[in-house]
Chains A and B, each alone.
Chain A
Amino acid sequence: MAALEDLFASGHRACAGCGCSLFLKTLLNVTGPNVIITEATGCMEVISTPYPESAWKVPWIHSLFENAAPVAAGIEAALKATGRKNDTKVIAIGGDGATIDIGFGNLSGVMERGHDILYICYDNEAYMNTGIQRSGSTPYDASTTTTPAGKVSFGNQSQKKNAPAIMAAHGIPYVATTSMGYPADFAKKVRKALSIEGPKYIQVHATCTPGWGIDSALSIEILRLAVETAMYPLYEYENGEVTSVKKIKGRKPVREYLEKQKRFSHLFKMPNGDKEIEKIQQIADLNAKHFGLDVVEKAKPKEAKAE
C-alpha cells in the first residue's frame, strides 16, 4: 500500500508539541482530498499560510477572524447552485476565540439554517495567536495575559462556556467533543460527522505549548489527563440528545492535570490555592455526574451464606 500523502504538509510554523497542528494533519488524513476548508484568523491560519508558502494541499480560504462559518455556508450554497456538491465536504475551522466568542452569533445562524457543513473548533482555551489572552472557553483559574494571576487574583474567574450544549440546542444532527489525546476518537467522530447531512459541530481539545506552559513532549499525556480527570468530558449529541460518553475508569484528581501546566501553577503557590483547586475539582465532579462518566465497579453479588 502506498504511504498516505499528508494533505497538510510539514514545514509549517507551528511550535513543537502543538496539539492544534496535529489536529489539522489528522483531520486531512481522515477527510482525504475531496474537501474545501475555510479557516478563521488565528494561530493555525498564521502558521500554515505565510505567503508564498502554504501547507494546504486541499482548497483552503481564510477571510476574517469571525466568519469561517458563513464563508463555508456561501461555498456550500455555491456548490449546490452549480450542481458541484457531489461528495465534496465543506469544513469550517476556527479556534475557540473565533468560534465561541467573536464568531458565535454567525455560527449560530449557520447552524440554525441547516447548511451542510462541518464546523470544527480547535479548543486550545485562549487567544494564542495574539499572545494568550482569555477567551470564553478559557477554564476557571487559568492565568492568561488578560486574566493574569496576581496578588489578589487566581486568574480567569469565569467558567468555560458550554458551547457544545448551545450548539446541540440548535437541534442539529451531530455535536461532539473530542481530544487530540485520543486521535482514534477524533477520527471516528469526524468520519461520523461527515457521513451525516446538515450542520455538524465538533469541538476538539488541543494543547498550546506556550499558552498552557507545558513540556512539548507531554502534549498527549496532558490532553489525556484532561479527559481522565473529567476536566474535558468527551461525548456526542445526536439531534439534541446525548448519545454517547467516554467513560472513565478510576477517575484521577484534577491536581494531576493542573500541576503539569504553568497556567495553573499559581494555584500551587498562593495561599488558599488549595481551596481553588478544590473548586476546580467540583467542576470536574459535576461534569462526571452530569454525563455519568464514572465507571461504577459492579458490587460483587453477595455469596450465599454457608449453611
Chain B
Amino acid sequence: MAKMAVIEGSHAIAEAAKVCRPAVVSAYPITPQTHIVEDISQMIADGELMNCEYVRTESEFSAASVILGAAAAGTRVFSATSSQGAVLMYEVLFSMAGMRLPGVLAMANRSVSSPLSIWNDHQDAISARDNGWIQLWAEDNQEAADMIVQAFKIGEDRRILLPVMVNLDGFLITHTYEPVEILDQNMVDEFLPPYEPLYKLDPKDPVTMGALAQPEYYTEARYMIHYAQLCAKDVIEEVAEEFGKKFGRYKGGLIDTYKMEGAEVVLISMGSVIGTMKDAVDEMRAEGIPVGIVKIRSYRPFPVEALREALKGAKVVCVLDKNISMGMEGAVFTDLKAALYNVKGSPDILGFIIGLGGRDITITDIKNLTNKGFAKMRGEKVSEMEWYKLDVDILPEGI
C-alpha cells in the first residue's frame, strides 16, 4: 500500500530528491526555498541520505558551480533555489547546459527585485528561459515531487543530456500542506537507474570539457543543445507515461488538458494557478459555459505541436502570465502566439499579466477574464493584452 502523508510541498520535494539518490547536493538558502534545503540537511544529519555529499556554499553562484563540477565528475546532482538566487546562478546555468551536464534544480518560483518581494510569481524562471535548461512546471505538491523523479530521468536520457529545472510556486506549493503519496524507494530505484554519464572527468580516460569554440564550431554546439530540447518533447511524454504506469499517476506530458470537450474559450497557464482555474472552470461548466484548460507542464521545450492539437476548435484563448517581458508582454502569451501563427483557423489569443509579486488570483478573477474571452468571441472590443486589475489609483498621476 502506498504511504500517504499530509506534508508541506518543500518536504515532498526533499523526499523526492532523496529517493533519487543524488551523490552531491549543493544549495544556498533563500525564501521560499529554505525548507527544502533544511529538510535535506536533516536527512543528512539523520543518516537517511547515504553516499551523498552536501556542500553548503557561500552563495548560489557557488552552489551551481559545485553541482556543475560534480556532474562533470559523473555523478547525479541536485540543488534548489529561487528568485535572486537563480539570478545569481545565471552564468553557471548557461555553462552547465552548454556542457550538456544533467542535474535537477528545484526552483521555488518567486518575483525578482526591485522592488524587493519574497512572494510568488514566475519571473525568476522565465528570465532564465534561454539558457538551455529544460523547464518543467508543477501544479501541486504531488506533481512537484513526481516531477523531480521524472526530471532526473529526462535529463539523464542519452538523447537529451541536459539539466532540468522543476518549477514549483513559492509558498503556494513550498509552504502548503497537502496529502501526498510518498515515493517508494524501491519503485523509484526501478524507475530511475543509477546515472551512467556518457563522459566524465576521470584520470583513467582524460577528456577536455568546456573548450573554447571559434565561430566555425559555436553555432553547431548551440544547435545540438536546441536539438536535444526538441528531442526532449518525446522523452518528456515517454517518461510521464512510464511514470504513470508504474506509480499510477499521470498529470500530463508536455501539457495536460481539463474539460476541453467543446470548450470555446480556453484558459492557459502554468503552475499552481491551474488548481484555482480548475475550480473556476468546474463552476462555470456547471452553468453550462463551454470553457476548458490547457496546462503547460513543459515550458522549454515549448510544446508547439501539442498546443496546436489541443487548441483545435477553440475560439478564444486566454493566457495567464505570472511574468512580464518588459517592453513587450507575458512570455507564454508571446510564445503561444508564435506557436499558432500561420495555423489555419487558429483562435484569437488574449494575454493577461496577473498574480505578480504574490497578488492573489481568485476564482472570481478567473471567471472575469474568461468573460473577456467570451466577449471577444462575440466580437466585442477587448484589449489584446491587459495588466489584470492594475490599481491605477496608486500609480502617479498621468500614467
Question: Which A residues are closer than 8 A to B by beta carbons?
Answer: 33-36, 38, 45-46, 49-52, 54, 56-64, 66-67, 70-75, 77-82, 84, 88, 105-106, 108-110, 112-113
Interface residue from B59, B69, B71, B203 paired with A38 (Cβ < 8 Å) = B69
Q: Which of A33, A81, A109 has the most CB of B within 10 A?
A: A81
A78-B24 in contact (CB<8A) = yes
A51 to B207, CA, bound (A): 12
Q: Which of B205, B207, B210 has the most CB of A within 10 A?
A: B210
Query: 11 A–B contact pairs at CB < 8 A?
Result: A36-B201, A49-B210, A51-B213, A51-B214, A63-B210, A70-B69, A77-B70, A81-B51, A81-B52, A106-B58, A109-B59
Contacts of B53-105 to chain A: CB distance below 8 A: 53, 55-59, 61-63, 65-75, 77, 91-92, 95-96, 99
Closest chain A residue to B24, Cβ basis: A77
Interface of A is mostly: mixed
Interface residue from A63, A108, A113 paired with B65 (Cβ < 8 Å) = A63
Interface size class for chain B? 35 or more
Task: Tell whether B379 is near chain A: CB-to-CB under 8 Å.
Answer: no
A62 to B98, CA, bound (A): 12
Closest chain B residue to A108, Cβ basis: B58
Task: Tell whether B208 is near chain A: CB-to-CB under 8 Å.
Answer: yes
B202-A71 in contact (CB<8A) = no
Interface residue from A46, A51, A59, A112 paired with B203 (Cβ < 8 Å) = A59
Task: Tell whether B211 is near chain A: CB-to-CB under 8 Å.
Answer: yes
B57-A109 in contact (CB<8A) = yes
With A52-B217, A61-B69, A64-B91: A70-B212 Cβ-Cβ less than 8 Å: no
Task: Tell whether B167 is near chain A: CB-to-CB under 8 Å.
Answer: no
CB distance from B60 to the nearest CB of A (A): 11
B92-A75 in contact (CB<8A) = no
Tell me the total A-B contact number using a CB cutoff of 8 A: 160
Question: Which B residues are closer than 8 A to A by beta carbons?
Answer: 23-24, 26, 51-53, 55-59, 61-63, 65-75, 77, 91-92, 95-96, 99, 201-203, 205-214, 217
A70 to B23, CA, bound (A): 16
Chain B residues, Cβ within 8 Å of A34: 203
Interface residue from B51, B71, B211, B213 paired with A82 (Cβ < 8 Å) = B51
Chain A residues, Cβ within 8 Å of B52: 81
Interface residue from A58, A59, A75 paired with B70 (Cβ < 8 Å) = A75
Closest chain A residue to B205, Cβ basis: A59
Q: Which of A56, A62, A77, A105 has the most CB of B within 10 A?
A: A77
Besides A70-B66, A75-B70, A81-B52, 20 other A-B contacts (C-beta < 8 A): A35-B203, A36-B202, A49-B210, A50-B211, A59-B207, A61-B210, A63-B210, A64-B65, A67-B62, A67-B65, A73-B62, A74-B26, A74-B67, A77-B23, A77-B26, A78-B53, A78-B70, A81-B23, A106-B58, A112-B58
A71-B53 in contact (CB<8A) = no
CB distance from B69 to the nearest CB of A (A): 3
Closest chain B residue to A39, Cβ basis: B210
Chain A residues, Cβ within 8 Å of B75: 78, 81-82
With A51-B212, A51-B214: A78-B69 Cβ-Cβ less than 8 Å: yes
Chain A residues, Cβ within 8 Å of B23: 77-78, 81-82
A78-B203 in contact (CB<8A) = no
With A52-B217, A74-B65, A77-B53: A33-B209 Cβ-Cβ less than 8 Å: no
B211-A75 in contact (CB<8A) = no
With A71-B72, A73-B66: A81-B53 Cβ-Cβ less than 8 Å: yes
Closest chain A residue to B208, Cβ basis: A54
A51 to B216, CA, bound (A): 10
CB distance from B193 to the nearest CB of A (A): 15
B206-A59 in contact (CB<8A) = yes
B209-A109 in contact (CB<8A) = no
A79 to B53, CA, bound (A): 10
Closest chain A residue to B26, Cβ basis: A74
CB distance from A27 to the nearest CB of B (A): 15
Chain A residues, Cβ within 8 Å of B92: 63-64, 67
